[in-house]
Chains A and B, each alone.
Chain A
């Protein structure tokens, strides 16, 4: 039996970072989507974006893609994302490698200065709680959906998108009250 010795010392003294400043409003904010290539990921992220635009007045939406779901996004890609976005949604996280890497990407985006929300499914939450500590951002929050997402049909996927959008809004704005205000403001009639 062959074991590979791993030195855990590098994870002992993790520098703790705070999450980025939250947005004050969603209306007009630029949304970046980071598709990790998982089945249904781009479709689901677009459904989320449609709701955010329609119900919260989010502005421009731009989709970015990773080369592989099993590794973190490159620094070049992360910098390209934050150059064109005020907040970011990453996904899908409905397996071990894709959920840990989506949360990793979102934490790195937060460290670069803008809110980023990874969408992950329930079975992976214990690992993700450990991951946020490991990556030095224990206060990081992600949006949670029932499992799975990758094998759903469109109508089921839309339901999951409806479920996670309020979580995304609350995380990006920082409080339930702000999220409620954003929904109310976006649906208010436009006055000339």
Chain B
């Protein structure tokens, strides 16, 4: 069973601030059945060279989630 979406969002809120510093929005767009969906959107002022690559983001998410989050797969959508 996956943790509540609000708990997941809270765990990832600091990562969201990291993305915001470069002009990106990190959005938890779905949580359920052990799967976490994350969408990254670019603001008009986003720095193209600054975006953290997907593989690193997955690792950062994994390191930021609580151990009992129950997430077994992470779906990433990048701009």
A interface residue numbers (CB < 8 A to B)? 1-9, 11-12, 69-70, 95-98, 100, 123-124, 126-127, 130-131, 133-134, 147
**In whole Å, how far is B8's beta carbon from the nearest beta carbon of chain A?**
13
B interface residue numbers (CB < 8 A to A)? 14-15, 17-19, 21-22, 24, 37, 39, 47, 49-56, 58-64, 71-78
Give Cα A134–Cα B59 distance, bound, in whole angstroms: 6
List the A side residues contacting B60 at CB < 8 Å. 100, 127, 130-131, 134
Give Cα A70–Cα B21 distance, bound, in whole angstroms: 16
Q: Can you sample 20 A-B contacts with CB below 8 Å?
A: A3-B76, A3-B77, A5-B73, A7-B73, A7-B74, A8-B61, A8-B71, A8-B73, A95-B22, A96-B21, A96-B52, A97-B51, A100-B60, A123-B17, A124-B18, A126-B18, A130-B60, A133-B63, A134-B56, A134-B59
Give Cα A12–Cα B74 distance, bound, in whole angstroms: 13
Do residues B18 and A97 form an inter-chain contact, with CB atoms below 8 A?
no
From DSSP, what is the main secondary structure of chain A's interface residues?
Answer: helix
List the A side residues contacting B56 at CB < 8 Å. 100, 131, 134
List the B side residues contacting A133 at CB < 8 Å. 63
Closest to B52 in A: A96
**In whole Å, how far is A33's beta carbon from the nearest beta carbon of chain B?**
21
**Pairs A-B, 3 closest by C-beta atoms:** A126-B14, A95-B50, A123-B21
- Extra contacts, 16 of them, besides A2-B77, A98-B50, A130-B15 (Cβ < 8 A), are A3-B77, A4-B54, A6-B58, A9-B72, A69-B49, A70-B49, A96-B22, A96-B52, A100-B56, A126-B18, A130-B64, A131-B60, A133-B63, A134-B56, A134-B62, A147-B21
Do residues A6 and B74 form an inter-chain contact, with CB atoms below 8 A?
yes
**In whole Å, how far is B49's beta carbon from the nearest beta carbon of chain A?**
6
Do residues B63 and A96 form an inter-chain contact, with CB atoms below 8 A?
no
List the B side residues contacting A6 at CB < 8 Å. 54-55, 58, 73-76
List the B side residues contacting A96 at CB < 8 Å. 18-19, 21-22, 24, 50-52
Q: Provided the pairs A8-B59, A134-B60, A147-B21 are in contact, do residues A127 and B76 lie with their beta carbons within 8 angstroms?
A: no
Q: Which residue of the partner chain, among B37, B50, B53, B64, contacts A3 with CB atoms under 8 Å?
A: B37
List the A side residues contacting B47 at CB < 8 Å. 95
